[in-house]
Amino acid sequence: MTTTGLTGDVLRVIREAVDRAILPRFRTLSSGEIIDKGGNELVTIADREAEVILAEGLARLLPGATVVGEEAASADPALLDRLGDDLCWIIDPVDGTNNFASGKAPFGVMVALSEKGVTQAGWIYDPLGGRLCHAHLGYGAFVGEDRIDAKTSGEEPPIAAVSLVFMDQDKREAMRQHIAPHYTLVDIPRCAAEQYPRIALGVNDLSIFERTLAWDHAAGALFVNEAGGMVARPDGRPYRVDEAHLPGLIGAASPALFEQLAARLAAF
C-alpha cells in the first residue's frame, strides 16, 4: 500500500497527543503520576493519556485497522497476537519514558503502520525539537519534507551505542570482551526515537538492541533501512513486527558496517 499521503494526517494526530497530554506533563508530574511497571520500566499518566488520543485519531484515519499500543498491550498481552493483522497501527506514546519521568530529554512519539507483519510506514516525532522523521516502504526516508540518505560518522573506530540493559550477564561480558575493543562506545539515549535518527544522521554508526518490541523498533528500523542503512537480525533476516518477541537486532548506518558487526557477533 502507498502511505506517503498519510503523513500530514498522522502528524496532526501526534501533535494533538503532544499538545494535550505530553508537553503539559513534562516536568510537572507528581509522584503518583509515575508508575513502576517492573523490569526497569516506568509508565506515566502522559503515556496513558497520549496513547488514547493517538489510538482514537489513528483509528479514524484507517477504519478497520488494528491498533496496538504499548500500554494497551501491557494491560492485555493478547493484543500482541494482532501484530500480524492485515493492517495494524503500532504506537509508542512516549518513547523514553524514564527520561520523560525524570524531566529530561530525549523522548519521542513513535507510530508505525504494518501490513501482515511488515512495516509499511513509520513516524518518529521529537516533541521538544519538533523534528519529524518518517519513512515509507519503497519510497525513502525523510526528515520533515527532505529526503535523506544515511551517512556514517566518519570516525575510526566506528561509534557504537550498545544497549546492555536487557542482556544477561554472560552476554554483557561477551560484548565487553569481543565487541567493545573494535568500536568507540557511547552511552545509549534510552530512547529509540532518538537512537534510530542518530544512526541515519551520522551521529552513531551502529547500535545493538537485545529487546525488539514492535513499538520501539518498527518505525526506526524502517527509517534507517529506507535511508540506505541496514537494520536486521544478526543473521541478516529482516525485522518483522510479528516476531518482536525474538531477541537481537543490529542497526547500522551502512550495510558494510552491519556485516562487519554481525560477523563479530557470530564469532562468539
Which segments are annotated as binding site? 70, 92, 95, 216
Give the Cα-Cα-Cα angle 140, 188, 73 (nearest 5 degrees): 70
Cell numbers for 30, please give them. 507528581
Give the residue numbers of the binding site for Mg(2+): 70, 92, 95, 216
Beta strand pairing call for 88-95 and 66-69: parallel
CB 159, CB 45: distance < 8 Å: no
**Alpha-carbon span 172 to 187, nearest angstrom:** 15
Q: What share of the chain is helix, strand, coil (3-state, %, to 5)?
A: 40, 25, 35
Cβ partners under 8 Å of residue 259, min gap 6 = none
Q: Assign residue 124 a region: left if phi > 0, alpha if psi is -120 to 50, beta otherwise?
A: beta
